[in-house]
Amino acid sequence: MRDVAVIGVGMTSFGELWETPLRSLWAEAGLAALDDAGIDKVDLITIGCMSSGIFTGQEHLASLLADELGMAGVPATRVESACASGGLAVRAAFAEVAAGLSDTVLVTGVEKMTDVDGADATYALGTAADSEWEGFHGVTFPGLYAMLARIHMRKYGTTREQLAQVAVKNHANGLLNPHAQYHLKISVDDVLESTAVADPLNLFDCSPVTDGAAALVLTTVERARKIAGDKPVVVITGSGMATDTVTLANRGELAELGAVKLAGERAYAMAGRKPEDIHLVEVHDCFTIAEIMATEALGFFAPGDGGPAVEKGLTSLNGRIPVNTSGGLKSKGHPVGATGVAQVVEITTQLRGQAGQRQVAGATIGMAQNMGGSGGSSVVHILEVI
Amino acid sequence: MTVGIVGYGAFVPRRRIKLEEIAKVWGADAPAYKRGLQLFEKSVPGADEDTVTMSVEAARNALARSGGVDPAEIGALYIGSESHPYAVKPSGTIVAEAIGAVPALHVADLEFACKAGTESLFIAQSLVKAGEVKYAVGVGADTSQGAPGDALEYSAAAGAAAFIFGADEDLILAEIIDSYSWTTDTPDFWRREYMHYPRHGSRFTGEPAYFRHTMNSAQGMMNKVGMEPKDFAHAIFHQPNGKFPMRVGKKLGFTHEQLETGWLSPWLGNTYSGASPIGLTAVLDIASSGDLILLTSFGSGAGSDSFVIRVTDRISEVQDLAPKTRAQLDEDKIYLEYGAYAKLRGKIRMAE
Amino acid sequence: MFSPARSWREYPQRYRLEAAKCSKCSKILYPPRLVCPECGGRDFTEETLPRDGTVVTYTVIRVPPAGFTEQTPLPLALVELTNGVRLMVQIGDVEDPETLEIGMPVRLEFRRISWDGEAGVIFYGHKAVRAGG
């Protein structure tokens, strides 16, 4: 296997981008990454996008978008794993470069969610669940995580205040991220008093509906060293992926995100790293409870300690292990297919020392964890500066 | 051929609304209504309940009491209702699927205002009697509506009763001795196609409709079998309110004691096609071997079906095998205010 | 929204709670599948699920998906039946959502699950209601 580096990053602002259609969002991010890398030719394009069909009536996305960049003819693959589509697009590209099938790849993620109304958006997101045996009964995405939250709270004593702290922290970080959807300081009370969505989760426990795109350029470390200029070379040292049951009724241990644990173990193994080695991590906080459970599954805290950790500030920007310096899905936004790629954009930016006010000092090893549905899939990458 | 009931069961939804709650909204005199109609509260179906769902649960209760009747051996299934969920597409097929009676059986949906329930009983037991099928199921169920502010709104309720008929003497818990029907064209209560609520002829629904048909049917039934009121342990009449069944019963010569077990409307409301059939299940729940029961329904339009039923030894073996009707009426109730009631009964215009 | 065909083919599971029991390891699969996830077995016998169980976890959905507005607030639960099989169902006849709890005994009852507006098909199945009074 060849070593793979990230030589370009780019993303649009995330938010309700009424004027911008899907293809333009995508192209904007793609061009930003290509420009950042200083290249204009790639061997492959990967695209993470969950539901362009339901949200915008468009499938056959990979070819459509390749042409949008004037790259008709270049191989292009669209990848889907619900909210882990972006992370999986990173992994698909990593695999091709590592295996020698492609030298340089444009990795992208995009989602345009605001062309449909709230009920239809809820329906589209709900297709990440088991449509026949969960969706049929009226379950929603927040509903599934609410059920997991209740189990976690019952088993470990995790409190709603601790869940709220996740949102508060991520909003504080988002204030420092120019691309974030929300630049809004919130308090624990704001979260607890926000509209009930699915008991016990309120509106501010939930990531928003967002338009946005993010992109990376991957190439071999050998080539990266040649063209990086004065930018530090960031290498993907570990990639792990795991599935778990989509259907919660078939899930083994409900208080644990098994797919995240497995994907994390596989990434750690490939990178030869342990949780203690990681300086910062972007986790998939689609809901506040997801961040707490993900940090436990990745081994940063023992099962049940994730809630108290947030409370104690261990995961804040200047904490022991900063989680979601980008603002997380909660305040950065969650354009579904783009998220996994945007997480790697953030880690790369941090490892290059380019994160401005939200820079974690001395960060050389970072991790990005992306997850689909209620934990049915997860992709974890470890990146290091060399 | 002997024919009788081999399994019976009822289903009553848990929600209720008190008469006062309805009267409050329309500025009506609740105490006077309660006295006049002898109604206190009625059952209200949830948004997720309808004639089909209640019939399935009632039929399951009947199967539980049937001594192991194999649903695949049911040769016919009929549901009588005036609130079938579809105008075209049978309710009976859904129930037959749910209880596993498909595919080798005959199914039909029936309609005759409040008499549709006993109609399905009549047809089911006749088929068994004729030797056409081994077992036949008859169900009476309704979730009917009363127009807002109309007198019928105080009584229109929801419930279902199901009966499995067979000829196997070892399984019969109550034998159908005979039946008799009395039918004329009397337009006392009707609903035209595509209209949401029924209309009625006010006081015309009393003497010329309800009383004329129930009296003639019950009397004709007793004449046919050569019996008198005192021969019966129980009598059940169609119960559009609390008052009418008591009045017709007393007029025919029955006592309060004979009428009271099957008299559910003051607490249940009028379950239309379910009314007298549910009354029958309440009686069967406490009946003793040898009891004679007279059942007389009434459906506007109009007609009455009467049955003479004799309870067998098997009754005491089965009463406890499924939820009893009085318990369903009295326990686990959820009381609604008018707003929640209106929402559930589809009286609030929703967005397209 | 579910098409008539999509709903119809699942009647044995939705209407009659029919499951499959692995002939090799006795695991009960609901809904049935072609291969047992436990032992890889490919042979099954018919098994009907019991209707009694307890609530493993639950939520009350306040922001409903399309098609469920009339039934909002919507209590949903993961229920474990007495034979160990788990399934997701709505909880019906809930007067006060505050009274819901993990471990609550429930019984499955036949109910409407959703319906396609005023003119479309009605989808039936089972909901859990509190058992034991």
Residue B352's pLDDT is 64
DSSP state of C118: T
CATH number at residue C71: 2.40.50.840
**Together in a domain, B90 and B66:** yes
Identify whether B135 is part of a domain. yes
- On whether the CB atoms of residues A315 and A280 are closer than 8 A, the answer is no
Q: How confident is the model over A350-374, as a mean pLDDT? A: 97
What pLDDT sits at residue B147?
82
Q: Please count the other Cβ atoms lying within 10 Å of the Cβ belonging to residue A181.
A: 26
Contact of C71 with chain B, judged by CB distance below 8 Å, is answered with: yes
Q: For residue B53, give the nearest of C70, C90, C112 by CB distance.
A: C112
**pLDDT tens digit sequence for A50-69:** 999 999 999 999 999 999 99
pLDDT confidence of residue B196? 84
Residue A228 — very low, low, confident or very high, per pLDDT cuts 50/70/90? confident
Residue C53 contacts A where some CB pair is shorter than 8 Å:
no
Distance CA A365, CA A382 (A): 7
Whole-Å CA distances, B134 to A205, B104, B126, B131: 60, 12, 11, 7
What number is the average pLDDT over the span B224-251?
Answer: 97
- CA nearest B238: which of B248, B228, B253, B229? B248
Q: Tokens standing for A286?
A: 């689609």
Beta strand segments in C7-131, E = 18-22, 28-29, 44-48, 52-61, 74-81, 86-90, 105-115, 122-130
Please check the confidence at residue B37 and state whether its pLDDT lies above 80.
yes
Rounded to a whole number of angstroms, the distance from the CA of A253 to the nearest CA of chain C is: 12
H helices, E strands: number in chain C:
2, 8
On whether both B10 and B134 belong to a single domain, the answer is yes
Tens-digit pLDDT profile for residues B80-131 = 999 999 999 999 999 999 999 999 999 999 999 999 999 999 999 999 999 9
Query: Does residue B351 lie in a domain region?
Result: no
pTM value > 0.90: yes
Cβ <8 Å between C125 and A136:
yes
Q: Inform me whether the C-beta atom of residue A225 falls under 8 Å from chain C C-beta atoms.
A: no
Mean pLDDT calculated for residue range A301-328: 98
The confidence score (pLDDT) of residue B312 equals 98
Tell me if C93 is assigned to some domain.
yes
Non-local (6+) Cβ contacts of B69 within 8 A are: B6, B7, B63, B135, B164, B166, B171
- Its sign, for the CA torsion C72, C77, A139, C35, is negative
Residues of A in contact with C64 (CB under 8 A): 119, 122, 138, 140
H-helix or E-strand spanning residue A34: helix A22-37
DSSP state of A68: H
Residue C116 domain-assigned (yes or no): yes
Q: Which residues of A are catalytic?
A: 83, 334
* Helix (H/G/I), strand (E/B), else coil: A188: helix
The number of folded domains in chain C is: 1
Average pLDDT in the C38-50 region?
A: 97
Pair B68, B141 in one domain = yes
CA distances from B174 to B63, B289, B292 (A): 15, 9, 9
Domains defined along chain A, listed by start: 4-116+210-227 (3.40.47.10), 138-207+238-385 (3.40.47.10)
Domain that holds residue B99: 4-172+318-343
What pLDDT score was predicted for residue B351? 75
Distance CA A328, CA A307 (A): 16
Q: How far does CA A287 lie from the centroid of its chain?
A: 12
Looking at the structure, tell me whether residues B147 and B221 fall in a common domain: no
| Residues B79 and B226 grouped into a single domain | no
Residue B202: its pLDDT value, please? 86
Collapsing DSSP to helix, strand or coil, C121 comes out as coil
Q: Please tell me the predicted confidence (pLDDT) of residue A77.
A: 97
User: What average pLDDT score do residues B261-289 get?
Assistant: 97
Query: What is residue A46's predicted lDDT score, i.e. its pLDDT?
Result: 98
pLDDT 10s digits, A98-121? 999 999 999 999 999 999 998 889
In a domain, B257, yes or no: yes
Asked if pLDDT for residue B186 goes beyond 60, the answer is yes
Q: Are B281 and B215 in the same domain?
A: yes
Q: How many residues can be counted in chain C?
A: 133
pLDDT tens for residues A112-151?
999 999 888 988 999 999 999 999 999 999 999 999 999 9
Confidence band for C70, pLDDT divided at 50, 70 and 90: confident
Return the closest-CA partner of residue B102 out of B73, B81, B79.
Answer: B73
Q: Does residue B149 carry a pLDDT above 90? A: no
pLDDT at C3: 85
Count the domains in chain B: 2
Is position B20 within any domain?
A: yes
- pLDDT tens sequence across A317-339: 999 999 999 999 999 999 999 99
Do B17 and B156 reside in the same domain of the chain? yes
User: In chain C, whose CA is at the least distance from the CA of B98?
Assistant: C15
The domain in which residue C112 lies consists of: 4-12+50-130
Q: Which residues of C touch A247 (CB under 8 A)?
A: 88
Contact criterion met (CB < 8 Å) for A138 and C123: no
Q: Is there a domain that residue C20 lies in?
A: no
Distance (Å, whole) CA C44 – CA C19: 9
CA distance A247 to chain C (A): 9
> Does residue B81 sit within a domain?
yes
Across chain A, mean pLDDT equals: 97
The pLDDT of residue B212: 97
pLDDT bucket at A230, cuts 50 / 70 / 90: confident
Pairs of residues, one from chain B and one from chain C, whose beta carbons lie less than 8 Å apart: 53
Looking at the structure, tell me whether residues B218 and B311 fall in a common domain. Answer: yes
pLDDT band at B152 (very low <50, low <70, confident <90, very high): confident
Report the share of chain C in percent with pLDDT over 70.
98
Q: For residue C67, what pLDDT is reported?
A: 86
Same domain, B132 and B19: yes
Query: C41 CA to chain A: closest CA distance, Å?
Result: 17
B220 and B79 in one domain?
Answer: no
Q: Does residue C1 register a pLDDT over 80?
A: no
Q: How far apart are CA A91 and CA A199, in angstroms?
A: 35
Residue C31 lies in a domain: no
User: Residue A233 — pLDDT band, cuts 50, 70, 90?
Assistant: very high
Residues B27, A85: Cα–Cα separation, whole Å:
60
Q: Are residues B161 and B260 in the same domain?
A: no
The answer to whether residue C112 sits within a structural domain is yes
Mark whether B9 and B152 lie in a shared domain: yes
Return the CATH number at B82: 3.40.47.10
B contacts of C127 (beta carbons < 8 Å) = 48
Residue B76 lies in a domain: yes
Among the residue ranges A232-241, A259-268, A364-373, C63-72, the one predicted with the least confidence is C63-72
Domain contains B352: no
Nearest-CA distance C132 → chain A (Å): 24
